[in-house]
Structure 1
Amino acid sequence: MTSILKLERISKRFPGVNALSGIDLEIPRGEIHALLGENGAGKSTLMKILSGIYKPDEGRILIDGQPRQFTGYRDAVAAGVGTVFQEFSLIPYLDAVDNIFLGRESRRLGLLDRRRMRREASALFDRLGVRIDLSVEVRALSVAQQQFIEIAKALALEAKILILDEPTATLTPAEADHLFAIMRELKRQSVAMVFISHHLEEIFDICDRVTVLRDGHRVAVRSVAETTMSELVEMMVGRRIENNFPPKAVRRADERIVLDVEELQIERDGPVNAFRLHEGEILGFAGLVGSGRTETLLAVLGADPVHHKKIRVGGEYARLTNPADALTLGIGILPENRKTEGLITSFAIRDNISINNLAEYRTLRLLINGAAEHAATQEMISRVGIRAPGMETVVDTLSGGNQQKVVLARWLNHHARILFFDEPTRGIDVGAKAEIYGLMRQLTARGYAIVMVSSELPEIIGMCDRVAVFREGRIVRMLEADAIAPAEVMRHATAGEAHELV
């Protein structure tokens, strides 16, 4: 089958960073090609070059054998390159039809031809095999449906090459299976796809070949059928990772209770939950989507209103009416969406780490002691292992794993001793995951206490000392020691029903 896309010797440099060095990539029509690598390996930079967002310093892009030079995103679209970004580019207050045809609406006699646009949108969704309510604003649709609208937008522009950047990151297993079915159908229609995912099992489910990047270099191209997961991991990180999860510490009988949630009722007629968190432990929150895991974290923190709660922190009753109260008591959160809720991405690493702690650096004249702030920030960067050219590096340019470390460094810098981790490794590669797990265990060894919400069952099993299993807003079982097993977690999370933990 003839190649529709060739990238030849693509290189890109940023100040202090050689992002890509001589990358070659060739994809035939109808191939699903995986692009793998740790965060910071160069995947996003390469895809931004293919999407016309960045211009390469060296190298050529050939589509259908013809050299192309993109001066912007529109040039890439005109050449047949469609991109479904990890962060959707939909306008939430418009419906699917308006989003698909935004900026290129059909007109008849000078007026919008909504009937024609609606008909064409319906045909696109029929092609994808999905049903979308065309009369509602997209904000009322599920994440999966919004994902399908993004794909329909690309197809409406007659994309011959489709880039899918972490498309399953926020999908349930059933929704991901539906997406894969759509991808297989597009493959039969000779659409070439570049698939980026941190879930290696998905590569083996859906992809034909895989290209592995490491530190801006192409290190391998393999047929998926002729490689293994462990080989891919070793190519990605440059070393063998035998076990992602550090060993659990032996628990003591006299562990101090640092957080005692005696009563927590979010809604007037809802269930009343209670749990305790001990010094030096990781308490996992497991359950299905909508089971109440994150809602419970936010309610404890004071980020969401509750009907009633009674909480002790360090043995003393505490009023947690907002996150500022929690912060004063030494409780910090690494939120599920670190970019929108945990970071100021346009600010530097230094700003993000020190922002909650500026009072410590004030002089008698109420000015900031820059030297003290610099020293404390550098200590935190070293402590959590943030990899960046310097502390003035803008956070938005960092990999997902390093961004997560910046959030963690902020709370450690503020002397938080109780940490809520909500999906701490979502969107993070295998090497960075191992580093995050190691940091969590280092913290608990020093007496920190962690509550972790995770949608990954192996992570719950491998990292947690105890596991609170949620079902329909209620903690239905607390598992410890050998009882923390996949079958036990699933049995309580589903009441015996055959669902996947997500």
Structure 2
Amino acid sequence: MEKSNSNSNTLVSFEKVNKSFGATNALIKCSVSFEAGKIHALVGENGAGKSTLGKLILGVHSHDSGIIKVDGNEVFLSSPRDAVKHGLVGISQELSLLPDRTVVDNIAIGRETTIGPFVSSKKTLEKVLAVMEEYGLFIDPTKLVGSLSVADQQKVEILRALNTNARLIVFDEPTARLASHQADQLHDLVRSLAKSGTAVVYISHFLEEVLKISDTISLLRNGEKVRTDSTSKETKNSLIEGMTGRDVGNLFPNKPAIDPTSEVLLRVRNLTRENEFKDISFEIKKGEILGIAGLVGSGRSELAHAIYGNRAPDSGSIELYGKEFIIKDVAHSIKNGMAMVPESRRDQGLLLERSLLENTSLPYLEKFTSWIYGLNKEEEYSEVDESCKTTMIKHSGLEKEVQYLSGGNQQKVLFARAAMNKPKLLIADEPTRGVDIGAKQVIYELISQLSKVGEAVLLISSEVEEIIGVAHRTLVMSRGKVVAELKGSQITKSAIMEAAFKQD
């Protein structure tokens, strides 16, 4: 059971802490403690209060009532600066780096070494290199952050936290954008941080990961803490039941049967884009769910954007419904029955300062507009509301800005938008990233329903279990090429990973 807050190893403790956003109670009488040298995981569905708890620790939000203590002393963390003074820092699921500045600039920002009123570039670099050496994380300090892979950008963010003499680090969905081998490397780093005495708060929707890496798990549901216990006493099923209040059962629906006489809906021939992918050829039949697996950087997302019209290929051709499809732009693809859930909701999908209504209906405004009457707000509202209900988005109003939704609910907005178009072809690039178990089931069921009514899905995922559980057939990409095609019982974790790591 949860240790007493009086434990000498307790670094941060919450006692009956409350936090509300308008009418939404994000955290209700939460009592929990975090110990130095321990990895403490927070799990729960979207809207359970995990990220809110993490942000209270980091001073991003201030608590409404209750007591927060650091080193046994009551504190009021009114800003991230206050938290940093106590050694409390965080790594968010959406990286907050300066892409046009160098690695050393990003790591040292706000903590540069000075000589008098002047910044000493040499001494600042020496300090950054010392931090890299101490934790065994080396990245070329002169490189621009924008040129780095997602995995290396995450390392820069972690190094920046370590450069602040962090005593507690909050990791919020840290492996959501990483391939499996990169996630393993991150796990090793997190363990080494805990071993050196750093307290780690680990927020993740990946329950296997939580069970593998943490010492303690706190379960939250609807803003309330259900329980805190030793990881050794939990299982995946016990966590799911605690998070949802029910036994979720089988995560994946049965794969709909494909009519062998079904027409080919999409045919791609020798599609090439320099330095991204080469000679890609495949077809998808009506009702088929085609998975594309591979490591981050293998060209999967780039291929998806080329098919969707977001970037032009250098050569090759596409046929849609048996006719040549000229790639023009995204609007042209939408009109021809395509929809896409992009990989990065913040960079590619959402207008964070606009409403849930606007974000969902934006690509289809022409549908609700006439020359005489203009925009039919009532019809727009009705269809968006129905789509949001179908995808189980938790919100306090369609007029609320998307930036105030949880990360998981922001992801579901992308799916609600795609579903509104009733697409003939859905391109889903990491569609369940940052989404909880219950919402994953909803999304998998929606994908399955598309298949049942004869629509096609191109599913790109870094979660091998997702590919195995959902796809009828799978292509594996490596270094911009398709290196394997797997069908039925051939779609196994070992077969996918073996192909993904092919060198030639």
SS at the partner of 2:381?
helix
Equivalent positions of 1:136-155 (< 5 A) are 136-155=143-162
Instruction: Please give the alpha-carbon distance, in whole angstroms, between the structure 1 residues aligned to 2:383 and 2:365.
Output: 11
Aligned partner letter, 2:159: A
CA contact under 8 A between 2:409 and 2:435: conserved in structure 1?
no
Secondary structure class of the residue paired with 2:11? strand
Alignment correspondent of 2:325: 318
Q: How far did 1:285 drift?
A: 1.0
For 1:418 and 1:246, the matched residues in 2 are separated by: 20
Aligned residue for 1:99, secondary structure, equals helix
Q: Partners in 1 of 2:336 and 2:480 — Cα distance? A: 26
Aligned residues: 497
Deviation at 1:414, TM superposition (A): 3.0
Rounded Cα–Cα distance in structure 2 between residues aligned with 1:72 and 1:487:
46
CA contact (8 A) 2:291 2:474 kept: yes
The one of 325, 331, 340 aligned to 2:347: 340
1:210 to 212, 217, 222: 217
Q: Does 1:367 align with 2:374?
A: yes
Tell me the residue number matched to 1:102: 109
The code of the aligned residue for 1:175 comes to Q
Is the deviation greater in 100-109 or in 203-212? 100-109
Measure the CA separation in 2 of the matches of 1:51 and 1:79: 10
Report Cα offsets for 1:208-244 as digits up to 9, x if no partner.
1111111100001110112212111211121112211
TM-superposed CA distance for 1:104, in Å, is 3.8
Which whole-Å CA distance do the structure 2 matches of 1:105 and 1:27 have between them?
Answer: 30
- Percentage of identical aligned residues: 36
Q: Which deviates more from structure 2 when the two are superposed, residues 285-294 or residues 113-122?
A: 285-294
1:37 corresponds to:
44
**In structure 2, how many angstroms separate the alpha carbons of the residues matched to 1:55 and 1:447?**
50
Q: 1:269 to 1:48 in 2, by over 3 A?
A: closer
User: What's the CA shift string for 1:145-184, capped at 9, x where partnerless?
Assistant: 3323322322332221111112222233333333333323
What does the per-residue CA deviation read over 1:441-470, in whole Å, with 9 as the maximum and x for residues that have no partner? 122222221100111111111101121232
Classify the secondary structure of the residue corresponding to 1:92: coil
* Partner residue in 1 for 2:430: 423
SS of the residue 2:209 aligns to: helix
Separation in 2 of the partners of 1:8 and 1:352? 38
Question: Where does the alignment leave 5 or more consecutive residues of structure 1 unmatched?
Answer: 498-502
Q: Is the 8 A contact 1:302 1:321 kept in 2?
A: yes
How far apart are 1:6 and its partner, in Å? 0.7
Aligned to 1:439: 446
Q: CA RMSD in A?
A: 2.2
Structure 1 distance, partners of 2:178, 2:419, is: 31
Q: Which residue of 2 aligns with 1:20?
A: 27
Cα contact 2:338–2:425 (8 A) shared by 1: yes
Contact 1:132–1:145 under 8 Å retained in 2 = yes
**Do 1:401 and 1:433's aligned partners in 2 also have CA atoms closer than 8 Å?**
no
Farther-moved stretch of structure 1 (488-497 vs 113-122): 488-497
Helix, strand or coil at the partner of 1:46 = helix
Equivalent residue, structure 2, for 1:184:
191
Q: 1-side partners of 2:177 and 2:381: how far apart?
A: 37
Taking the aligned partners of 1:385 and 1:149, their CA distance within structure 2 comes to 35
Write the distance in 1 (CA, Å) between the matches of 2:481 and 2:197. Answer: 48
| Residue 222 of structure 1 pairs with residue 238 of structure 2 | no
The answer to whether the Cα contact below 8 Å between 2:312 and 2:327 also exists between their aligned partners in 1 is no
Q: What is the aligned counterpart of 1:122 among 119, 123, 129?
A: 129
Matches within 5 A, 1:201-350: 201-267=208-274, 271-350=278-357
Q: Cα distance 1:399–1:69, how it changes in 2: closer, same or farther (>3 A)? A: closer
In structure 2, the partner of 1:46 is 53
Aligned residue for 1:280, secondary structure, equals coil
Q: Is contact 2:468-2:493 (8 Å) kept?
A: yes
Partner of 2:14: 7
Of 488-497 and 465-474, more deviation after overlay is shown by 488-497
- 2:4 maps to none
Does the C-alpha gap of structure 1 residues 362 and 172 become closer, same or farther in structure 2, counting only changes over 3 Å?
closer
1:51-90 map, 5 Å: 51-90=58-97
How far does the alpha carbon of each residue in 1:335-373 deviate from its partner, in whole angstroms, 9 at most, with x for none?
Answer: 111222122122112111221221222244352122222
Gaps of 5+ in 2: 1-7
**Residues 226-283 of structure 1: CA distance to partner in whole angstroms, max 9, x if unpaired?**
2212111211121112211000112212212221224423349974222211222211
Contact 2:291–2:467, Cα closer than 8 Å, also in 1? yes
Q: Is the 8 A contact 1:461 1:484 kept in 2?
A: yes
Identify if the C-alpha distance between structure 1 residues 339 and 7 changes in structure 2 by more than 3 Å, giving closer, same or farther.
same
Distance 1:256 1:65 in 2: 68
TM-score between both structures, scaled by the size of structure 1: 0.93
Which of 374, 383, 397 lines up with 1:390 in the alignment? 397
Contact 1:84 1:162 in 2 (8 A): yes
Local SS of the residue matching 1:291: coil
Matched with 1:500 is none
175-184 or 155-164: bigger deviation = 175-184
TM-score (normalised: structure 2): 0.93
Q: Which 10-residue stretch deviates more, 144-153 or 161-170?
A: 144-153
Distance in 2 (CA, whole Å) between partners of 1:254 and 1:409 is: 31
- Alpha carbons of structure 1 residues 176 and 406: separation in structure 2 relative to 1, 3 Å: closer
In structure 2, the partner of 1:471 is 478
**C-alpha spacing 1:388/1:186, structure 2 compared with 1 (3 Å):** same
Q: Deviations over 1:117-152 (max 9, x none)?
A: 222212211221122222222223333333233223
The 1:421–1:314 alpha-carbon spacing in structure 2 relative to 1, beyond 3 Å, is same
Distance 1:95 1:475, change over 3 A: closer
Question: Aligned in 2, Cα 1:130/1:405: closer, same or farther, shift over 3 Å?
Answer: closer
